[in-house]
């Protein structure tokens, strides 16, 4: 580990360390919320300097795989942390104020992947899926209608009861019940006209404008694990985004 090979395969040491730490995260050597070994211990384990470990950890912290706390240690990121709980929810009430969402499970069914979904989830066409449908309320009003598609192979034995229990904190449930960490989501947003069942559940007339969000969620190694289609009534809420 002390030397890196040169010409075509030059990879900085700290990136190799980054990959080794990531491997340990994937293998579950340290679970969500747990502390990883100190920088000094890791430096000894990998036979590099503390500075090199630090650089690797800093990048992993920036990518939200790890969380550093001065004086305490470095911890595996978890969706049960407060700062992470609504991290992927960008729909906020216009008045400002807190979110405090609750929801209602509509259904949890088995299904097959159509061509589009199969491609997005990188599974075979016709693969088994769970399809979860729910409505989220902020305050009194229903605001979001969601259809969530999950590969059955990764979510073995997913039951409506489990969904119902956890469905407001779905990514926490993915983490604790299936060991799946959502790290990144990619969204495509459009304005569409309301119709049918979703319109009825959201309490808006046919043809009313709704925000449509198509999301693909990724875990370690950019592996897709969820496809989610959301329809939002943006009368009193907005999707907020900051571009830097």
Partner DNA sequence: GAGTGGTCTAGACCACTCA
Question: Which CB, 43 or 199, lies closer to DNA?
Answer: 43
**Residue 6's CB: how many other CB atoms inside 10 A?**
7
Residues in the chain: 244
Between 180 and 210, name the residue whose CB sits nearer to a copy of itself: 210
41 binds, among DNA, a copy of itself, none (CB under 5 to 8 A by kind): DNA
Nearest-approach distance from CB 199 to a copy of itself, in angstroms: 12
Indicate the helix (H) or strand (E) that contains 121.
Answer: helix 115-121
Pair of tokens at residue 174: 């993915």
Residues near a copy of itself (CB under 8 A) are 63-64, 87-88, 90, 94, 183-193, 207-212, 214, 232, 234, 238-244
Q: In this complex, which beta carbon is closest to DNA, that of residue 41 or of residue 222?
A: 41
Among DNA, a copy of itself, none, residue 3 binds (CB under 5-8 Å by kind): none
Number of Cβ within 10 Å of residue 109's Cβ equals 11
Q: Which is nearer to DNA, 65 or 170 (CB)?
A: 65
Residues with Cβ within 8 Å of 98's Cβ and at least 6 positions away in sequence, in order, are none
Q: Which is nearer to a copy of itself, 157 or 205 (CB)?
A: 205
107 binds, among a copy of itself, DNA, none (CB under 5 to 8 A by kind): none
Choose the contact partner of 234 out of a copy of itself, DNA, none; CB within 5 to 8 A by kind: a copy of itself
- By DSSP bridging, strand 91-93 and strand 101-112 are unpaired
Q: How far is the CB of 229 from a copy of itself (least distance, A)?
A: 13
Minimum distance between the CB of residue 94 and a copy of itself, rounded to whole angstroms? 8
Contact of 179 with 171, CB cutoff 8 Å:
no
Burial of 71 (0-12, 13-18, 19+ CB in 10 A): exposed
Note the residues at the interface with DNA (CB under 7 A): 2, 4, 6, 10, 12-15, 36, 38-41, 48-52, 54-55, 58, 68-74
Nearer of residues 69 and 156 to a copy of itself, judged by Cβ: 69
> From the list DNA, a copy of itself, none, which binds 238 (C-beta under 5 to 8 Å, kind-based)?
a copy of itself
**From the CB of 171, what's the least distance to a copy of itself, in Å?**
12
Calpha distance 195→204 (Å, rounded):
9
| Residue 10 contact, options a copy of itself, DNA, none, Cβ 5-8 Å cut-off depending on partner type | DNA
Structure-token pair, residue 244:
């830097």
Q: Give the whole-angstrom CA distance, residue 206 versus residue 134.
A: 19
> What gap in Å lies between CA 113 and CA 130, rounded to an integer?
9
139: its two tokens:
């305050």
- Hey, which residues does 151 pair with through a beta bridge? 129
């Amino acid at each position: 580990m002390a030397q890196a090979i040169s010409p075509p395969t030059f990879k900085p040491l700290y990136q190799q360390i980054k990959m080794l730490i990531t491997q340990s995260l994937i293998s579950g050597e340290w679970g969500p919320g747990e502390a990883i070994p100190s920088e000094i211990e890791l430096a000894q384990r990998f036979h590099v300097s503390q500075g090199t470990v630090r650089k690797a950890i800093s990048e992993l912290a920036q990518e939200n795989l790890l969380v550093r706390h001065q004086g305490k240690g470095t911890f595996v990121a978890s969706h049960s942390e407060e700062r992470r709980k609504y991290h992927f929810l960008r729909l906020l009430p216009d008045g400002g104020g807190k979110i405090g969402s609750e929801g209602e499970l509509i259904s949890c069914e088995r299904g097959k992947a159509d061509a589009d979904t199969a491609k997005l989830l990188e599974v075979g066409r016709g693969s088994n899926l769970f399809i979860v449908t729910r409505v989220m309320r902020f305050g009194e009003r229903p605001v979001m209608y969601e259809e969530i598609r999950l590969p059955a192979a990764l979510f073995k034995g997913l039951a409506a009861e489990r969904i119902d229990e956890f469905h407001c904190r779905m990514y926490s449930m993915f983490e604790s019940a299936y060991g799946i960490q959502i790290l990144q989501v990619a969204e495509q947003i459009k304005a569409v006209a309301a119709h049918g069942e979703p319109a009825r559940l959201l309490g808006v007339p046919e043809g009313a404008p709704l925000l449509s969000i198509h999301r693909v969620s990724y875990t370690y190694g950019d592996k897709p694990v969820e496809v989610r289609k959301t329809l939002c009534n943006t009368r009193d809420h907005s999707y907020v985004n900051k571009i830097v």
